[in-house]
């Protein structure tokens, strides 16, 4: 079934594994991750960032997922890094079962205010909310500028907002890492010890398997993977174009990209959920 994201995360937290959340861009990446969850019978979250929604249309991705989901393990459809109340509302109307509101760049009080607004709106529609506190590195920040999530602020934030899951800043970054990232595993544990809701790790493409396992052990219940999947899609597509050089029908070379996404997603699912 397609369920609320929090249902998957609460179960993962209780049983000590993480649900991988895959950022999709098109039909082929949706098919790749759906094949992976169906073969392994393990839950996943399929998510899109607002930039993807702008590229493909807000109703497109939930329709692609719903039309191609064949049952088996439960999944959720999630908005990643929603920037305002409206995009969260639009995704809920389009059938998303989970949304993220990212107010992490705001002052603490403003982040609380925005998150609370989205929580009230989403809960009224039966949809759960992920928020972010602290910063996750990206294109602009260097490692020294990443703000780790403070333990006491996390407790206060969850209490004040009633949010369902929380993305924390512990040294990860989006995109491709330039050097070896230093992840504050202890900080994850400190927060998990005092915060009841599931914790989320962003920017996991490029972390070693060992670091990812340690993050899960320390208390992470959802891990986002975007870059790995995009790299797999592009590599698979290039291979398909070379192998089927004589053809002009996309349906002959795009399956290479689907298979490449599927293989990477299967590896990630196994890593997040050891038997
Ligand atoms: Zn992120």
pLDDT, one tens digit per residue, over 82-124 is 999 999 999 999 999 999 999 999 999 999 999 999 999 999 9
Q: What's 245's DSSP letter?
A: T
Q: CA-to-CA distance for 80 and 200, rounded, in angstroms?
A: 11
Give me ligand 1 centre to Cα 148, in Å. Answer: 14
Sign of CA dihedral 22, 56, 136, 187: negative
Per residue in 177-227, pLDDT (tens digit) is: 877 888 899 999 999 999 999 999 998 888 999 999 999 999 999 999 999
Give me ligand 1 centre to Cα 193, in Å. Answer: 23
Give me ligand 1 centre to Cα 237, in Å. Answer: 25
Give me ligand 1 centre to Cα 168, in Å. Answer: 10
Neighbours of ion ligand 1 (CB under 5 A): 202
| Of 136, 133, 139, the residue nearest 154 (C-alpha) | 133
Statement: residue 58 has pLDDT above 80: yes
DSSP code per residue over 144-177: GGPPPPPHHHHHHHHHHH--SEEEE-SS-BSS--
pLDDT of residue 140: 44
- Domains (ranges, CATH) in the chain? 5-272 (3.20.20.70)
Q: What predicted TM-score, i.e. pTM, was given to this entire model? A: 0.94
Give me ligand 1 centre to Cα 123, in Å. Answer: 22
235: left (phi over 0), alpha (psi -120 to 50) or beta: alpha
CA distances from 47 to 68, 223, 242 (A): 15, 12, 30
pLDDT of residue 172: 86
265 touches 47 (CB < 8 A): no
The more confident residue out of 157 and 148 is 157
What amino acid positions are annotated as catalytic residues? 80
Token digits of residue 80: 């990643």
252 touches 224 (CB < 8 A): no
Give me ligand 1 centre to Cα 81, in Å. Answer: 6
Give me ligand 1 centre to Cα 234, in Å. Answer: 21
pLDDT of residue 137: 74
């Amino acid at each position: 079934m397609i369920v609320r994201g929090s249902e998957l995360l609460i179960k993962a937290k209780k049983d000590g594994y993480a649900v991988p959340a895959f950022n999709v861009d098109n039909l082929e990446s949706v098919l790749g991750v759906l094949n992976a969850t169906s073969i392994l019978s393990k839950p996943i979250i399929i998510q899109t960032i607002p930039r993807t929604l702008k590229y493909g249309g807000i109703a497109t991705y939930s329709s692609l997922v719903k039309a191609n989901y064949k049952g088996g393990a439960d999944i959720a459809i999630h908005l990643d890094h929603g920037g305002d109340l409206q995009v969260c509302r639009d995704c809920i109307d389009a059938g998303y079962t989970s949304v993220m509101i990212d107010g992490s760049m705001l002052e603490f009080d403003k982040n609380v205010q925005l998150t609370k607004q989205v929580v009230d709106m989403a809960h009224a529609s039966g949809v759960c909310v992920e928020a972010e506190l602290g910063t996750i590195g990206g294109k602009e920040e260097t490692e020294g500028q990443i703000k780790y999530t403070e333990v006491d602020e996390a407790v206060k934030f969850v209490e004040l907002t009633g949010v369902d899951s929380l993305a924390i800043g512990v040294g990860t970054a989006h995109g491709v890492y330039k050097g070896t990232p230093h992840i504050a595993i202890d900080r994850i544990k400190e927060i998990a010890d005092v915060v009841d809701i599931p914790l989320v790790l962003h920017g996991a493409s490029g972390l070693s398997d060992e670091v990812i396992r340690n993050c899960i052990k320390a208390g992470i219940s959802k891990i986002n993977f975007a870059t790995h999947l995009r790299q797999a899609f592009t590599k698979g597509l290039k291979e398909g174009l070379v192998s089927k050089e004589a053809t002009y029908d996309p349906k002959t070379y795009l399956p290479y990209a689907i298979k490449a996404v599927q293989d990477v997603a299967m590896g990630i699912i196994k890593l997040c959920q050891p038997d």
